[in-house]
């Protein structure tokens, strides 16, 4: 009976997860979600339960849990509250508190996340009697303005205070006055989903203000703020004791966050399968729990209370992130039942914790960290016993257990790793076996150093020891990540493949008591799963595909990928933004990996401006390139860095020359010669045409009107035009547009840019020649295919299913 109840709770949890997902998605009405849940439960229970009594109980459980999940996910049982985002575009006075751990001093000012509780629109807030007199000229630490007409709201706003270093003053209630602007995010497949991240964090807008527009209540900080301040103090102490990357990595592993960790270090950890250790996760809670139980040998009620209190305090230091909170709840649940003679099944505790967390915050279901933590823990619960027994046959028990844990975690999380990162780490198994124990020792030394910091000598000594241990480990991780075999690119994986994969895992490693399959039937199903997965993989490689071009959303810049019918690849420009945001590493490479591209046949840079060549170095460092084509100009800084980091064949474009990509031709229409000492003038921008039997595209870079006039007499008509200079009124002249006669014009431009691109005049000229305009600032990445003589366009922001 206990086993039946355990199965029913597992089925109910699966039903709750599906219902919650559909409720959050709002893709179908609630009644349709319930109907789908009934069908799902019938199929699941009919396949897994042995007797009719179990089938009926499980059916009821799944149905009830599914409806509860759908109601919670859709917000049907939560009180509706006005969102702060509804005031976007207005001048407002926003009341709230700084989110603990979010206040940080930057070279240009102070950043924070404001948790909003009330707002006044400009018509009300403009009354100066509502504001303290001292606030008109300088930063004010007196009472924040209050007004009974303020509207209660929910949500968070990202605030940047210009030219002020105020991290040590922003505590308690505050008010911020300014224009609430919308959040801007890139919309590309494969990369970081900023829109989803903002939704998960509750972020709904941004404000950039001066210090005189921030008002504090002057109240004392709360307990959460004090703990966040302690975490910041510990981080600063650690990084001053252990400088450089070692200190930043130790801070991230013990306190959370990625401050100070370079992109190269993060990439190296990801390539060797250790990315989960860079930020605090369930692994750290489990490690700390085991260490505390080892130190406190007598496991009585008081010992467990002490351990629970320490874990709770540590989770607060880390900001109660979803994986930490899940692991904390799991540990506390296990502690609470340790003194009982009837210890519940581990899976029951696990399911209960998952249900509790999602009832508290349903959006965590879509959080990557929560998902990976969930599937990894589930794998350890259901697959580890079998793998551990198999490994124990061939090696000592201790080594077998370590290997089984690592294998189980990677096997359970594989579809999610492919879905989010499109790569698999071949070095991950060895790294988890040999490097993780050493990294965990460094984490324990750091935590012990934090605890003993009042004893300055001993605490600092432990921090120094942790840094000394970590330094060679960082070098070893970087060395492993540099090998080409460290990771393999998989590309996007259909959901059907994930479902078949998990069915295969259940058949091979699952508990045979949970189904009625005979050994013969089990072997037949395993063979069918393997054959289906192999067939899908082979078909994806051999299926015919049309000429396709992807205009990648890189903000105020250019980047486009051409994939020929023979699957040869041409990357034209790589984008580039101000500051330390690397478009090559954070946008281009994830996009290529999403498409399963492991190498580039040709990279072409139209000219050396940073917004066209800024991401080229990262692409060259992480992906083989056959040939690089450059304009005829002295190399700009980005191009010089590219040449230092590539082994590809480099050529300078010549007007009239052609390059073959299978049945597709790359034609250099115009390649002006420039002797500008700046080496990146728009006057030297290449104009190229990519043509095949299916269609043709013209790329213009930042070509000027004079260059377009010279090219107008030589260029052939094309279905698609990449509009020059992000839609500047000083390009895309009428003679050039008349010569190209594009059906579709694509403008690669940043949302809300300060240049006013695209200009109204160029939009009018495009309309005059009958071009349909697509823009990356509105639609995100744009995909165009030439199939059967027809041109089809898709926007990633609104048509993700076509990418």
Q: Encode pLDDT of 37-52 as tens digits.
A: 555 555 555 555 556 6
pLDDT at 124: 45
pLDDT confidence tier of residue 535, bands split at 50, 70 and 90? very high
Strands 569-574 and 600-604: parallel
The candidate with the shortest Cα–Cα distance to 498, out of 465, 456, 529, 454, is: 529
pLDDT confidence tier of residue 286, bands split at 50, 70 and 90? confident
pLDDT at 133 over 50: no
Name the pTM for this structure.
0.86
Report the DSSP beta bridge partners of residue 162.
109
What is the C-alpha separation between 16 and 354, in angstroms, rounded? 10
DSSP SS3 for 763 = helix
- Number of Cβ within 10 Å of residue 429's Cβ equals 15
Residue identified by tokens 């399963």 is 596
738 Cα distance to chain centroid? 42
On whether the CB atoms of residues 491 and 595 are closer than 8 A, the answer is yes
Q: What is the mean pLDDT of residues 129-157?
A: 55
On whether the CB atoms of residues 357 and 373 are closer than 8 A, the answer is no
On whether the CB atoms of residues 350 and 378 are closer than 8 A, the answer is yes
Helices (H), 741-800: 760-768, 776-779
- With vertex at residue 15, the alpha carbon angle to CA 12 and CA 18, rounded to the nearest 5 degrees, is 155
The answer to whether the Cα torsion of 693, 707, 737, 628 is positive or negative is positive
Q: What is the mean pLDDT of residues 58-75?
A: 80
Q: Which two tokens stand for residue 470?
A: 């970590």
pLDDT confidence tier of residue 36, bands split at 50, 70 and 90? low
pLDDT at 245: 92
pLDDT at 779: 94
328-332 contacts at long range (C-beta below 8 A, 24 or more positions apart): 328/285, 329/353, 329/356, 329/357, 330/282, 330/377, 331/285, 331/286, 331/289, 332/308
The candidate with the shortest Cα–Cα distance to 183, out of 308, 264, 250, 89, is: 89
What is the C-alpha separation between 183 and 371, in angstroms, rounded? 25
pLDDT at 549 over 70: yes
On whether the CB atoms of residues 600 and 647 are closer than 8 A, the answer is no
pLDDT confidence tier of residue 440, bands split at 50, 70 and 90? confident
pLDDT at 430 over 90: no
Choose from 125-139, 288-302, 614-628 the range with maximum mean pLDDT.
614-628
Strands 720-722 and 214-216: unpaired
Report the DSSP beta bridge partners of residue 175.
95, 215
Strands 625-630 and 649-652: parallel
Q: What is the mean pLDDT of residues 551-576?
A: 96
Report the DSSP beta bridge partners of residue 95.
118, 175
Q: Which two tokens stand for residue 218?
A: 């002057």
Residue identified by tokens 């029913």 is 8
pLDDT at 142: 40
The candidate with the shortest Cα–Cα distance to 236, out of 167, 150, 307, 136, is: 167
State the burial class of residue 543 (Cβ atoms within 10 Å of its Cβ: 0-12, 13-18, 19+).
exposed
Mean model confidence pLDDT for the chain: 84
Q: Tell me the per-residue pLDDT of 233-280, one tens digit each, with 9 for 90 and over.
A: 898 899 899 999 999 999 988 988 788 888 889 888 888 888 878 877
């Amino acid at each position: 009976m206990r086993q039946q109840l355990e199965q029913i709770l597992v089925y109910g949890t699966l039903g709750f997860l599906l219902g919650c997902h559909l409720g959050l998605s709002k893709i179908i009405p609630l009644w349709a979600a319930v109907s789908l849940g009934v069908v799902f439960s019938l199929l699941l229970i009919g396949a897994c339960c042995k007797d009719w009594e179990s089938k009926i109980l499980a059916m009821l459980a799944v149905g009830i849990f599914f409806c509860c999940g759908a109601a919670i996910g859709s917000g049907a049982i939560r009180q509706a509250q006005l969102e702060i985002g509804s005031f976007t575009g207005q001048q407002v006075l926003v009341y709230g508190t700084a989110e603990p751990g979010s206040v940080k001093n930057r070279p240009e000012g102070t950043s924070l996340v404001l948790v909003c509780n009330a707002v006044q629109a400009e018509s009300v807030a403009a009354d100066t009697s509502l504001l303290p007199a001292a606030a008109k000229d300088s930063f004010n630490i007196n009472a924040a303005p209050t007004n009974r007409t303020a509207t209660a709201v929910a949500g968070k706003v990202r605030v940047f205070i210009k030219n002020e270093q105020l991290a040590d003053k922003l505590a308690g209630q505050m008010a911020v006055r300014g224009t609430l602007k919308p959040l801007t995010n890139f919309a590309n497949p494969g990369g970081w989903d900023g829109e989803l991240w903002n939704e998960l964090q509750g972020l709904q807008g941004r404000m950039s203000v001066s210090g005189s527009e921030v008002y504090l209540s002057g109240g004392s900080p709360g307990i959460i703020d004090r703990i966040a301040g302690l975490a910041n103090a510990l981080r600063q102490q650690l990084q001053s004791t252990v400088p450089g990357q070692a200190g930043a990595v130790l801070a991230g592993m013990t306190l959370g966050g990625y401050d100070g960790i370079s992109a190269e270090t993060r990439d190296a950890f990801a390539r060797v399968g250790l990315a989960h250790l860079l930020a605090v996760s369930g692994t750290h809670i489990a490690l700390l729990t085991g260490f505390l139980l080892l130190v406190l040998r007598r496991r009585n009620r008081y010992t467990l209370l002490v351990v629970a209190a320490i874990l709770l305090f540590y989770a607060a230091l880390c900001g109660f992130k979803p994986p930490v909170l899940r692991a904390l709840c799991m540990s506390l649940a296990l502690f609470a039942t340790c003194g009982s003679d009837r210890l519940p099944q581990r899976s029951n505790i696990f399911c209960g914790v998952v249900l509790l967390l999602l009832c508290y915050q349903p959006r965590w279901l879509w959080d990557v960290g929560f998902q990976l933590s969930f599937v990894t823990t589930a794998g350890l619960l259901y697959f580890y016993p079998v793998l551990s027994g198999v490994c124990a046959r061939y090696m000592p028990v201790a080594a077998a257990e370590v290997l089984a844990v690592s294998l189980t975690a990677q096997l359970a999380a594989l579809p999610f790793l492919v879905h989010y990162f499109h790569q698999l780490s071949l070095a991950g198994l060895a790294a988890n076996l040999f490097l993780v124990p050493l990294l965990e020792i460094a984490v324990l030394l750091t935590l012990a150093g934090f605890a003993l910091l009042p004893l300055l000598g001993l605490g600092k000594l432990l921090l120094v020891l942790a840094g000394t241990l970590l330094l060679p480990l960082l070098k070893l991780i970087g060395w492993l990540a540099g090998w080409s075999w460290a990771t393999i690119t998989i590309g996007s994986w259909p959901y059907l493949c994930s479902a078949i994969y998990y069915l295969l895992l259940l058949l091979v490693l699952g508990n045979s008591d949970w189904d009625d399959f005979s050994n013969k039937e089990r072997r037949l199903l395993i063979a069918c799963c393997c054959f289906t997965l192999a067939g899908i993989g082979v078909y994806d490689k051999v299926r015919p595909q049309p000429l396709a071009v992807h205009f990648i959303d890189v903000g105020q810049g250019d980047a486009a990928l051409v994939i020929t019918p023979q699957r040869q690849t041409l990357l034209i420009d790589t984008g580039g933004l101000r500051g330390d945001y690397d478009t090559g590493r954070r946008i281009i490479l994830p996009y290529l990996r999403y498409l399963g591209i492991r190498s580039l046949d040709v990279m072409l840079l139209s000219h050396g401006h940073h917004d066209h060549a800024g991401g080229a170095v990262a692409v060259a460092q992480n992906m083989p390139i056959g040939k690089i084509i450059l304009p005829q100009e002295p190399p700009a800084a980005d191009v010089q860095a590219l040449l230092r980091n590539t082994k590809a064949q480099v050529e300078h474009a010549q007007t009239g020359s052609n390059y073959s990509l299978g049945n597709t031709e790359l034609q250099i229409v115009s390649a002006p010669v420039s002797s500008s000492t700046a080496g990146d003038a728009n006057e030297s921008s290449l104009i190229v045409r990519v043509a095949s039997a299916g269609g043709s595209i013209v790329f213009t870079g930042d070509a000027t009107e004079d260059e377009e006039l010279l090219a107008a007499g030589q260029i052939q008509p094309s279905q698609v035009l990449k509009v020059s200079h992000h839609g500047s009124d000083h390009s895309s002249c009428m003679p050039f547009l008349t010569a190209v006669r594009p059906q579709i014009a694509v403008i690669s431009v940043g949302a809300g840019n300060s240049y006013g691109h695209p200009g109204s005049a160029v939009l009018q000229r495009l309309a005059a020649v009958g071009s349909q305009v697509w823009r990356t600032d509105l639609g995100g990445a744009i995909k165009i295919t030439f199939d059967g003589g027809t041109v089809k366009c898709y926007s990633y922001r609104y048509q993700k299913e076509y990418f």
